[in-house]
Amino acid sequence: MEILLLGIYSFFVWLVFFKFKWLAWTTTAAVIVITIPIIGLATLILLLNVVAPSALDVQVVKYVVQVLPRVTGRVIEVPVEPNRLVRRGELLFRIDPRPFEYEVDRLRALLASTAADVAAQREDLRAAEAQIDVSANHVTSIGSSIEASRARLALAELRVGQTKQLASTGAGDAFEAQRWESDVAQQRADLGALIPQLSAAEKEVTASRAKASSVRERVSAMSGHEQARVAEIRAQLKDAEWKLEETAVYAPADGHVINLQLRPGSTVSQLPLNPVMSFVEQDEVILAMFWQNELRAVEPGNEAELALTTYPGRIIKARVDSIIWAQGQGQLPLTGTLPQTGATPTPEGRFAVKLVLDGKDKDLFLAAGARGTGAIYTHHLVPVHIIRKVLLRVGSYLNWIIIKHNVSLH
């Protein structure tokens, strides 16, 4: 930047003093000509580095996801192609699902069988408790019949006494007295038959209660174990279903699969240190490095421009997302050893500014690892920004120049 400005300034000095000789070249003129660019350049550089700071190190970083299978198995399908855009949710590869389907079917059958056993035990308990109610109702019914028979017997005995007394005085019918005596005999016979039935029904109630108690104890003893068994099988089934789902691995985001070596027939493992492919996400993070005293006037939302080597002659529009106010020099390691300051101070580190694409360049593709230069334009001294914009555009056209370095291998 300074060389360009000096070149322009020198050109105009040459025109004024030597080409057209509008002014005489004297010692005074020479001092003035030399002093003006020194003061001017120093002032301009100081102003530009505050109101429109530039970054000589702009880099594009993308998140790289190490794709790891969650289950072990043989790969049967790899539909994705390397270095081609893959959309979120598209299939990356599929593991043979049959062993996992068999396990799911087995656990579902085992769960159904175990749950049926638990249901049958509970049904036996409900039947035993219902039988208690039936036996108790039978006892109540027989008791009611006995009470009714005793009432009828008492009435018949009363009528026998009354009809006999009337018959002895000639006021009643002897036949009527005999009929009531027959009724008394019948009621006594009925009552005698009901009492053994009541005893049998009471024994039946006792037996039903004993049976229900026995079933309840058995169900209670087995219920906890069976319920725990059912819960355990359900957990195993969920795990098996999850493993079945994990036989198909999908793209976590829009991006590219780089250096794809996975092929059908390969056996993949869920070991954490053995990724099968690297997935580079489409979304990028643009980082511009600035010296610590250049960010005093920079704020989120400021306009920014980039000149990346991958796009020669093009200015890419961006804006400031945030300033990362942290770097490695601000962290001490967790150790019991005191830090070594050394005789020479550590060189001052830079702070990164996160940029995001804006305007017509919002959807522009940026390659991971792309580098270049950039500038941020604050809200201060806006007219001075034109100098930085011109310099950045000149630098972007210089990116058309390709210089290859020969590297010898030993």
Residue among 361, 271, 376 at smallest CA distance from 310: 361
pLDDT at 10 (0 to 100): 85
pTM listed for this prediction: 0.65
Name the phi and psi angles at 25, rounded to 5.
-85, 100
Q: 3-class SS at 331?
A: coil
What residues form DSSP beta bridges with 284? 62
Q: Cβ atoms within 10 A of the Cβ of 312, count? A: 15
Start-to-end C-alpha separation, the chain: 38
pLDDT at 373 (0 to 100): 96
pLDDT at 376 (0 to 100): 97
Q: What is the pLDDT of residues 190-205, one digit of tens each?
A: 777 777 777 776 777 7
Residue ranges, the chain, pLDDT below 70: 1-2, 4, 124-125, 129, 153, 159-160, 162-164, 166-175, 177, 201, 211-212, 215-226, 405-410
Q: 3-class SS at 3?
A: helix
Q: Using an 8 Å Cβ cutoff, are 311 and 374 in contact?
A: no
**Domains annotated on the chain, with CATH:** 1-50 (no CATH), 52-66+277-328+348-401 (2.40.30.170), 69-95+247-268 (2.40.50.100), 99-245 (1.10.287.620)
pLDDT at 353 (0 to 100): 96
Show Cβ contacts of residue 388 under 8 Å, excluding neighbours closer than 6 positions.
48, 52, 54, 375, 377
Give the tokens for residue 133.
Answer: 């109610």
**What type of residue is 153?**
L
Q: Using an 8 Å Cβ cutoff, are 385 and 377 in contact?
A: yes
Exposure letters 43-72 (e unless 16+ CB within 10 A, then b): ebeeebbbbbbbbeebbbebeeeebbbebe
**CA dist., res. 89 & res. 249, Å (int):** 9
pLDDT at 213 (0 to 100): 72
pLDDT at 354 (0 to 100): 97
pLDDT at 405 (0 to 100): 65
Q: Using an 8 Å Cβ cutoff, are 305 and 393 in contact?
A: no
